[in-house]
Chains A and B, each alone.
Chain A
Amino acid sequence: MTIKNPDGRNSENHAVASHTLNICTAARNAGLVITPARSIDVFKTLGCIDISDKKEYQLALRLNLASTKEEEIIFDRVFNGYWNNTPESEGDYILANSEMIKGSLDAGLSNEGHRDMISESDSFSEAAVARKANLRMRWDPLAPPLHKLIRELSRRLATRPSRRNQNSPHGTKIDIRKSVRKSVPFGMELINLSRTIPKVRKTRIVLLCDVSGSMDVFNPFLLQLMFGVQKTLKNSRTIVFSTQTNDITPLLRGHDVVDVLAKVSRTVRYWSGGTNIAKALTDVNRNVLAEGFSRSTVLIVVSDGYDTGDIAGVKRELELAKRRTRSIVWINPMYGSSSFEIRAKTMKAAMPYIDEFLPAFNAQSLLKLIAGLKRLS
């Protein structure tokens, strides 16, 4: 049977299959998770559509291969790149995110930030920033994982009862279903009552990490914290910012640390750049905290607070974030340095909105702080 290919040429069936496989491979190389099951679904789908319609072909593939809005954007880029013979760029995620977040690198160029704090005063051009973004150099493979620590932090932050129940002999609520079942051997007499207590609601952490130049020295700690949060609390979100904001949650889901770091490096091109805390908070408020779950969300900001940007904006956005989260925790690794109080105006402006202020700079200091941290109410 001869069918028409999406590129307009007539060819054999195997040509379509070959193109489809190539696109699947290209999409996989661009970071999409294309399992064999998905590829099989794609081929099943081809039987349901008019392959000569390129748009239809593209949509059918996308329906099966993409699972988020960002992945849809990446897939479209891969697909168009394939037919235009242009290889997909390594920075697909950054392009997809930049289309979504609609930021501009130019916005950061006018922001002096805390340039005086950065020892290496490079320009903030994209190329220069990209050169510095080799995160493998900043990863400490010998550092102990923070999983246990994050679990402890999460336990201390989780205080709200859920609507779900768990069995407990000391519970006040009777589980009728279980009680009836237990009564069968006793002639349906309700002798032993099963009791339940409400489960403690899981905390959802939104981790907002400052990756500007002045935080470079704390990068190993930051990276460990990001990995720890994402591995321990699956429903958490990790966002990094300097002059731009990037949600790197999907990237941190991988198992191979080196691979994940490479992906993050490719995505976050502005690592070690300036700082725009107000913009980061605005993006988090608009894109993450607007999603709801305000009573179970804890916003953790890791930043030194060095930002000469829009202080009024920081106040406004923190006030908004305060209403949309259960508590705001600020981890400041610079706390205690001689120049801290003089320069960090943003930090001063933020203080009234912060529930817990933790001057942590590595895993040990965070552990000590958590041990002494009272349960947030």
Chain B
Amino acid sequence: MDTQQHFHHPFQHMPDIPELFKAHGYIADKAISLTTKIAFDLGKPILLEGEAGVGKTQLAKTLAAILETRLIRLQCYEGLDTSSALYEWNYAKQILAIRLAESSKSKQTEIETSIFTEDYLFTRPLLQAVRHGGPTPPVLLIDEIDRADEEFEAYLLELLSDFQVTIPELGTFEAQVRPIVILTSNRTRELNDALKRRCLYLWVDYPSMEKEQEIIAQHVPEINADLTRSISKLVNNLRSIDFFKKPGVAESLDWAQALLSLRVDSINSQILFDTAGVLLKYKDDIERLKALDMESLIDYKKP
């Protein structure tokens, strides 16, 4: 029997969704809006893949802001296991409690019962998401799932299917309301097909020049429109060059902030030369950029 509460989400009408995102500082295109709507309607996790810095994590943060709910983040890394992701007993506190109980001549069965209670439990992100009360669900961000091991991915698969966790000493916890799950991946490895099939998949690409202008204007409102246009145009041009790591939206925003703090009104080759490290993160890429004709790059129009 389905004991989970039904949640009336604000993403019912497609035309309103971009505005909803924009009001919280996120410029969403049609693909993102539709993915969000379907994910909420069907209660399915969203798997976002894309280059670093294109706004995958930000989507989860924005969803939490729109729903005015808690964002529970699980940052994945190699070696991540259930004790860091789900729950762990507070052993130090348990041993201390045992010593105290022994000194007060308590029975062994009483000690056992008392130390395996919630007072001695560390709840980690996945359990926090399952135990989150309704009616608004939490947003569970499982960031960079590709960095975790395959064993953890298999465990996650089980959790995502029914949002139910069993702790042998305490019993089974079932989510009152299904968390909104966002998984992100930088594609450092292929994910398990079974996991992918449970999710709505979306490749988040670099934004178009126009969309990037909007993003910069939204996040750095102090900057003038001409400079915004120049930044998005130049960054767009840089992305057409075969750099090892192309600048993402995060780099564009950092650069806009940097130019603002330097009180720069227009971009020239000297400025680009001096601030190249904000946009490009590899020595080889910076050297390659410096070897290019920067003036033509600034004026370059993509065919």
B14 touches A38 (CB 8 A): no
Which A residues are in CB contact (< 8 Å) with B150?
234-235
Residue of A nearest to B14 (CB): A50
Contact-size category for B = 35 or more
Which A residues are in CB contact (< 8 Å) with B147?
292
A67 touches B193 (CB 8 A): yes
Q: How far is the CB of A52 from chain B (nearest CB, A)?
A: 12
Stretch at the interface among B27-35, B206-214, B225-233, B251-259: B27-35
Task: Give complex CA distance A201, B147 in Å.
Answer: 13
Which A residues are in CB contact (< 8 Å) with B108?
187-188
Which B residues are in CB contact (< 8 Å) with A64?
200
A59 touches B186 (CB 8 A): no
A69 contacts the other chain (CB 8 A): yes
B244 touches A59 (CB 8 A): no
Give the contacting residue for B49; candidates A33, A68, A176; CB below 8 A. A68
A60 touches B188 (CB 8 A): no
Which B residues are in CB contact (< 8 Å) with A188?
95, 98, 108, 111-112, 115
Residue of A nearest to B188 (CB): A291
Stretch at the interface among A41-49, A207-215, A333-341: A41-49
A15 contacts the other chain (CB 8 A): no
Once A63-B34, A67-B197, A290-B245 are accepted as A-B contacts, the answer to whether A180 and B42 lie under 8 Å apart by CB is: no
Contact-size category for A = 35 or more
Flag B87-109 by CB within 8 Å of A: 1 or 0 each.
01101001100100000000010
B273 contacts the other chain (CB 8 A): no
A41 touches B42 (CB 8 A): yes
Q: How far is the CB of B134 from chain A (nearest CB, A)?
A: 22
Which B residues are in CB contact (< 8 Å) with A35?
197
B203 contacts the other chain (CB 8 A): yes
Once A45-B42, A67-B197, A291-B189 are accepted as A-B contacts, the answer to whether A162 and B78 lie under 8 Å apart by CB is: yes
A56 touches B30 (CB 8 A): yes
Flag B232-259 by CB within 8 Å of A: 1 or 0 each.
0000000000101100000000000000
Q: How far is the CB of A226 from chain B (nearest CB, A)?
A: 16
Residue of A nearest to B80 (CB): A163
Q: How far is the CB of B197 from chain A (nearest CB, A)?
A: 6
Once A48-B37, A285-B244 are accepted as A-B contacts, the answer to whether A180 and B202 lie under 8 Å apart by CB is: no
Task: Select the residue from A33, A69, A285, A291 with max chain B CB neighbours within 10 A.
Answer: A69
Task: Give complex CA distance A180, B41 in Å.
Answer: 45
Flag B148-170 by CB within 8 Å of A: 1 or 0 each.
01100000000000000000000
B201 contacts the other chain (CB 8 A): yes
- Which 10 A-B residue pairings sit nearest by Cβ, starting from the closest? A163-B79, A291-B188, A48-B41, A67-B196, A69-B203, A63-B200, A188-B98, A176-B91, A235-B189, A292-B188
Further 10 A-B residue pairs, CB within 8 A, beyond A41-B44, A63-B34, A68-B49: A45-B38, A63-B200, A68-B201, A69-B49, A72-B203, A163-B78, A177-B83, A177-B91, A249-B190, A282-B242
